[in-house]
Structures are given as structure tokens and as C-alpha cells.
Structure 1
Amino acid sequence: MELREHKSSFIAYKVLHVLVVATLIRQCVLGHFESVFFCVLTLLLLYVPSIVQVGLRIELPTTLEIIILCFIFAAEILGEISSFYVRVPGWDTMLHTVNGFLAAAIGFSLVVLLNSDERLTFDLSPAFMAVVAFCFSMTIGVLWEFFECGMDLVFHTDMQKDTILHAIYTVALDPTRTNTVVGVTGITDTAVNGESLGLGGYLDIGLLDTMKDLFVNFIGAVVFSIIGYFYVKSRGKGKVASKFIPSRKEEGRDYLKAEQEKALPPEAEGREGRPDEGA
């Protein structure tokens, strides 16, 4: 019922679901079991927006739901299995920028939803809500980079993609040990244990990738924070922000509550909300 509520997001879900299942079958035939895991994970993640809506009884805007579904597919199926992270320049940068924008939207929405509860209502300024959204997004971005670094250190993955440099500046090469920066420029190759790696430059170990990811996350967070600021300033009249900010479900669309009421026996439903006769 939740999946079928919005026609456009339901079509997007079904198309992505079919593509993931087709990819899963292909990876099983090829015997790529790590890719099979990514496919199964993606199938589970595609249900998350609907589970969130039912469990938390909130309504996700159709635009936000479609972007989330496409983001999951782009990160897992295209990025990991189809190797777009390596084959398509800027793929990782694009996803991190979108992630910063979406995380800011989620942080902003949490404040809006909490503030719509009569028991927790505060008079929050537009600037404060924009700052909360920005900080929430940057925190998510930092935690993800922690995860990438941890995976690389513990499981020897390469989530922090390396960068080829042609110049390095470091105090580690200073023979005087006086904290003087020594520059090595015009680097055309890197050798490890006397063997050339054939990279055409020096191999950075992920620092620049991490900083780039955080920077584009920063850009995405700033963009939505500005949008959210004017949304609050205009008292909810912003057309762009409204496409990314969830709202509480209306009574007729609370499918979980409807199913729970159907499961109640007639006599229990009739007594619901009345005091115990023996009291």
C-alpha cells in the first residue's frame, strides 16, 4: 500500500527492482558472490523509504523518495558492481555532493517534524534550523569517512581512492630536522622496493580523496541549508524545499494503524478507548 501510494515513485521502485534482480541473476551465473551480496543489500535498501514512512508515520515527498532510490542504485549497483567509481570520472564526487544535500534535508526534516509535535514545539529561527541541517549533514559525512578509513585499515579495501600526484611537500625529508618543508617536484614515477609501479607520478594514499569528499559534502549541505533557511523564512511556502521535507501522515494514509485496527477483534475494537467496567 505504501509503495503504490505515489505512482511515479512506485514506477521508479519497480524499474530499479527489476534491474537489481537481473543483475543478481547475472552475478550468480558468473559466480561473483561479493557482487551478489551488493545486490541483496540493494534490494533491502530499496524498501527503506517505505519502511521509514510506515514505521515513523511520515510522508516522504515523491521527489525525495525517487532521489533516494536512484542514489542507492547508483552507489551500489553502478558504483560497486559496474565499477563506475573507477570508470566514470567524478562519479564518487557526484554521489558525495548529493549525499551532503540529502543529509542536510534529513537533518532539517527532523527538526521540522519534532517542532510540529505540540508537546515539543519551540520558536526556532530560520538561521538556527539551517545551521542544524548543515551540522547534521557534515556529521554524517565525517562518520562515513571514518567508516571508509576503518575498512581500508582493517579489511585492506580501497574505499579511500588514491590520487596520482606530481609533487609532494613534506618535512619528513628535511635533513636538518628543523620543521622545514622540502618540495619534490616533477615526479614522473613511483618505485616500491626498487620496482616501478608505472603510475606516472607519486601515489597518494587517500587523503585528497577524503578531503574532496568532505568538501563536496560541504557544498551539498550549504545548498540545502540556504534553501531550508528561506523555506522557514517564508513560513513553508518554498516550492523547492517542500519537495525534500517530509510531513506527518494524514489519518487516512496511516496504513500501519489501519492494519492494526483490522487485526483487532470486534469486541476489543469496541472497547478501545473506554475505561475498564470493573474500575
Structure 2
Amino acid sequence: MRLLAPLWVALVLAALWAAWEGWWPLAAMSTLAAILSMAPILLASRYNIALPLPFLVATVVFIIASLIFGEVFDIYYRIWWWDMALHASSAVALGMIGFLFIYMLFEGDRFAAPPVAIAFLSFTFALSIGALWEIFEYAMDQSFGTNMQKSANDTMIDLITDAIGAAVGALAGFAYLKGRSAGLLGRLIRDFITLNRHLYAKGRSRDDK
């Protein structure tokens, strides 16, 4: 929380300054970024979920990189791979989040459902969020005259990138269930489950090994 506080203060100050100067896109995106970056903490507190610090930092950085640098300062146009990198990283994260949520529904009992089934559901969860985001971009373009979609080709590239990233995140969860190393992604999954043992009660014995 203390590490993220300066970022939130900076976003609020940016929104106020932009509103004062009449730079409404920056004011709107800064406000939205502040709200979205605080949302995970508020939701986690509401449902008694502990979030690892790397997750919180990555969330804030991603939101700023996407909404402010990408949309307001047109980095999407200046750096060709910016959009692909953001879609890929968010899809990987969503694949892992999908896995953690679905695994949570089984209370950490890896015998309740096959690892392949949990990984597949994680993949579809992440890809569904990616598809909903593309619908959101279309709605924004049609309603407010923005250019979030860029082009039909860009939309397809985004969906393909989302599918690849979602598969990586889901496979990290699959590797965890199979007791294999998944590198950094595997450690992040293990850290989350360790911090939230009460949500994965049936898997405690496995995590303690």
C-alpha cells in the first residue's frame, strides 16, 4: 500500500491538473486509472483475499501504460509492439487469475477436477475477458468517436495475442497442479495460494510439501 500510494497521488494530481488545463482525455484517463488500480485492493479487502505486492504493482503499471501512455500520449502509434506487449501480458495474467479463481472453487483440491480441465477453463476465462475488451473498444469508438480499435486487422491481432497469452497463463497453472516448475509464473501462483491458504483448504497438505 505504501509503495503504491505515491502512484495514486500522482494519478489524482494529474487528473486535477489536466482538468484545470482543459485536457479532458488525460483527466478522464487519469481518473479511470486511479479507480481501476484501487479496485483490486478494495475487492480483495471485501472478500478477505491477500494480494501479493508484485501483482498490485504490475496492475498499476499496466493500467498507466495502457490508458495514459497508450491512449493519451499515443504510444500505440509510436511504438508498434506496445499494444501487443500489453495484450500479451494482460492475457497471461488473466490466464493465471482464471486458474487461481477456478482452483479456488475446488478449495485447492486437485483431485476434484483434472488439471487439463482446470487449465482449459482458465484459458477460456482469459480469452473471454479479451473478447469483452474488444467489444468495449468498439462501443467506445462508436459512442465517443475514439479510435481504440485502430482497425479490424488490429482487433484480430489482439485476439490472437490474447489467445497465446491466455494459453501461457493457463499452462502455468497446469504445471503447478502437476508439480512441475513454471518459473516466475509458477512462483507467483504459489505465493498467492500461500497467502490465501484459507481459500485453498483442501490443498494445504500439497503446498506444505
With normalisation by structure 2, the TM-score equals 0.82
**Which of 86, 95, 107 is equivalent to 2:98?**
107
2:75 partner amino acid = F
Answer yes or no: is the 8 Å Cα contact 2:172–2:182 preserved in 1. no
Instruction: Confirm whether residue 14 of structure 1 aligns to residue 39 of structure 2.
Output: no
Distance 1:250 1:217 in 2: 30
Answer yes or no: is the 8 Å Cα contact 2:94–2:169 preserved in 1. no
- Where does residue 207 of structure 1 map in the other structure? 152
2:179 partner amino acid = S
Q: Which of 1 and 2 has greater Rg?
A: 1
Identity over the aligned pairs, expressed in percent? 30
Q: Secondary structure at the match of 2:149?
A: coil
Point out the structure with the larger helix share. Answer: 2
Distance 1:26 1:154, change over 3 A: closer
Displacement of 1:142 in angstroms is: 1.1
Displacement of 1:105 in angstroms is: 1.2
- Where does residue 116 of structure 2 map in the other structure? 127
Q: Secondary structure at the match of 2:60?
A: helix
Q: Which moved more, 1:92-101 or 1:60-69?
A: 60-69
- Where does residue 73 of structure 1 map in the other structure? 64
1:233 partner amino acid = K
Answer yes or no: is the 8 Å Cα contact 1:17–1:43 preserved in 2. yes
RMSD: 2.5
Structure 2, gaps ≥5 residues long: 199-209
Aligned pair count reads 196
Point out the structure with the larger strand share. Answer: 1
Answer yes or no: is the 8 Å Cα contact 2:120–2:170 preserved in 1. yes
Distance 1:142 1:87, change over 3 A: same
Distance 1:89 1:236 in 2: 33
Distance 1:217 1:239, change over 3 A: closer
Distance 1:102 1:208, change over 3 A: same
Structure 1, gaps ≥5 residues long: 4-9, 162-205, 252-279
**Which of 21, 25, 47 is equivalent to 1:34?**
25
Instruction: Confirm whether residue 59 of structure 1 aligns to residue 59 of structure 2.
Output: no
Displacement of 1:148 in angstroms is: 1.6
With normalisation by structure 1, the TM-score equals 0.63
- Where does residue 234 of structure 1 map in the other structure? 179
Distance 1:32 1:156, change over 3 A: same
**Which of 8, 15, 24 is equivalent to 1:24?**
15
* Per-residue CA distance 1:3-46 (angstroms, 9 max, x = gap): 3xxxxxx41x1232233134224313321123212211222122
Q: Secondary structure at the match of 1:228?
A: helix
2:177 partner amino acid = V
The aligned runs of 1:170-181 (5 Å cut-off) are none
Displacement of 1:104 in angstroms is: 0.8
Instruction: Confirm whether residue 98 of structure 1 aligns to residue 89 of structure 2.
Output: yes
Distance 1:83 1:15, change over 3 A: farther
Displacement of 1:56 in angstroms is: 1.3
Distance 2:34 2:145 in 1: 26
